């Protein structure tokens, strides 16, 4: 008992120094350590390999229309099932309860940054993913070709999901016709499908701006406006966007179905610490779509280009295994089919992911996390606020004795429900990357 008493006396003295008593529940007087700083202080360098597999938008809802099962529950997933038996599961809140995240905040959280503190415009992410280098003062926008009716109303936000080749032709045409607006250079680069990027390079510019996108059919394209109405630089950027529309829309007016375009995520690049600085891990990204490459590049991950299928992505992981400590591997199609409301196609995409999984497991990482950046329920045909399921596998994860990786099973898992920004820290802990805290 003597040791316990001495420990309590020491605690009481510490609290007294802070102007508190041991029985006082008001701890606001204590000088709290920044949590990131504490993690940094405890971090140990190891030789562990960590892999984050993101099945974009994998989370879904069990509804009457779907027979009370989700695509993840309906899918045949023998490899995920086998992994589940030796893993922990839970659910993750992507941002905060009730908030529906875009892909940017969803991945920022997965990478362990607070998606509320670290706000990144989608245009910046897409521009980086397409290989553009952003300079100080650049403002980038993520763009979609769309279909406009005779009155300028958006009738199809994705222009029928035109082929990449058509997108490239249209972007080439716009690039030749609209090179500058005043003293500002306009850079246009095609992405995949109906997507492209517009970069405004000039002096005295900054974001963020509101979207020139109604986010639904049946409405006209709204004007972009400064999020901070007091910012003269953002006001200038908003005027540039308006002038760009005036110059560019006539160029493609007769190009059905892609006779218009929408701009969103109009912003400049923020300054944030790199992934390696934060976690002492050499990170690499294996993704197909530019946006996710851009998100990875934003935090300093190496982009491993080339693979186009999930099997090819896993093969690239095997080839690069010795060169990096952390791998972010992104799979898009679960989200794509969720947004289409196509239950059968989303289920099939999950099965294709599962079928390729044994390739990666040839070199099983020390820590493996499988999750989504958010949920994309088929019934919603878009992102939602519902917590996404997560599976965590390591020698220290233990087993939750769950036979499958599903939303229902994840509800019973030992990880519980937590904010996505803590997943990286849990992965580090499972990799034995933290020293003990305190005596």
- What is the per-residue DSSP string for 68-110? T--HHHHS--HHHHHHHTTSEEEEEESSSTTPPP-HHHHHHHH
Which of 235, 267, 299 terminates a domain? The answer is 267
Q: What is the CATH number of the domain that holds 388?
A: 3.40.720.10
Those residues with Cβ within 8 angstroms of residue 139's Cβ, 6 or more apart along the chain or in another chain: 123, 199, 200, 205, 206, 207, 209, 237, 240, 266, 267, 268
pLDDT tens sequence across 50-74 = 999 999 999 999 999 899 999 999 9
> What's the CA gap between 377 and 386, in Å, rounded?
9
Number of structural domains in the chain: 2
Residues 257 and 285 in one domain: no
216 is in which domain, residue-wise? 124-267
In a domain, 389, yes or no: yes
Mean pLDDT along residues 322-345: 97
Is the pLDDT assigned to residue 358 strictly greater than 60?
yes
Chain mean pLDDT for the chain: 91
Mean pLDDT along residues 10-22: 42
Which of 237, 267, 297 terminates a domain? The answer is 267
Residues 252 and 131 in one domain: yes
Residues 138 and 223 in one domain: yes
pTM: 0.77
Residues 143 and 60 in one domain: no
H helix or E strand, kind and range, residue 55 = strand 50-55
The whole-number pLDDT of residue 12 equals 42
In a domain, 188, yes or no: yes
Residues 287 and 175 in one domain: no
The angle, 0 to 180 degrees and rounded to 10, between the axes of the packed helices 164-177 and 232-252 is 110
Residue 26, CA distances (Å) to 14, 35, 114 in order: 14, 19, 26
């Amino acid at each position: 008992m003597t040791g316990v008493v001495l420990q309590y006396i020491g605690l009481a003295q510490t609290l007294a120094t802070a102007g508190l008593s041991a029985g006082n529940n008001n701890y606001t007087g204590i000088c709290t350590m920044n949590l990131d700083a504490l993690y940094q202080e405890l971090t140990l360098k190891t030789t562990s390999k960590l892999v984050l597999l993101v099945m974009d938008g994998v989370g879904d809802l069990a509804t009457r229309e779907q027979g009370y099962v989700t695509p993840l529950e309906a899918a045949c997933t023998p490899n995920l099932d086998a992994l589940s038996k030796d893993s922990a599961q839970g659910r993750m809140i992507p941002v905060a309860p009730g908030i529906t995240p875009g892909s940017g905040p969803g991945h920022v959280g997965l990478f362990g940054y607070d998606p509320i503190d670290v706000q990144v415009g989608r245009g910046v992410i897409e521009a980086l993913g397409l290989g553009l280098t952003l300079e100080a003062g650049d403002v980038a926008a993520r763009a979609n070709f769309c279909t406009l009716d005779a009155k300028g109303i958006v009738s199809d936000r994705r222009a029928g999901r035109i082929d990449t080749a058509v997108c490239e032709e249209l972007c080439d045409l716009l690039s030749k016709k609209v090179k500058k607006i005043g003293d500002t250079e306009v850079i246009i680069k095609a992405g995949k499908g109906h997507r492209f990027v517009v970069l405004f390079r000039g002096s005295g510019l900054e974001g963020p701006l509101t979207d020139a996108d109604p986010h639904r059919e049946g409405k006209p394209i709204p004007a972009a406006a400064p999020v901070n109405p007091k910012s003269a630089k953002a006001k200038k950027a908003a005027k540039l966007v308006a002038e760009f529309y005036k110059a560019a829309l006539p160029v493609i007016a007769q190009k059905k179905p892609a006779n218009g375009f929408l701009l969103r995520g109009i912003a400049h690049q923020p300054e944030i610490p790199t992934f390696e600085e934060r976690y002492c891990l050499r990170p690499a990204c294996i993704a197909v779509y530019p946006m996710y490459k851009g998100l990875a590049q934003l935090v300093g991950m190496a982009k491993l280009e080339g693979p186009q299928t999930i099997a090819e992505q896993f093969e690239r992981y095997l080839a690069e295994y010795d060169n990096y400590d952390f791998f972010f591997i992104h799979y898009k199609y679960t989200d794509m089919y969720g947004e289409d409301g196509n239950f059968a196609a989303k289920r099939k995409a999950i099965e294709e992911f599962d079928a390729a999984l044994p390739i990666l497991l040839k070199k099983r990482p020390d820590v493996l996390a499988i999750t989504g950046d958010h949920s994309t329920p088929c019934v919603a045909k878009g992102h939602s606020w519902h917590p996404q399921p997560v599976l965590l596998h390591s020698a220290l994860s233990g087993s939750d004795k769950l036979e499958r990786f599903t939303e229902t099973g994840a509800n019973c898992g030992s990880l519980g429900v937590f904010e996505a920004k803590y997943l990286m820290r849990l992965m580090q802990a499972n990799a034995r990357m933290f020293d003990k805290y305190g005596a």
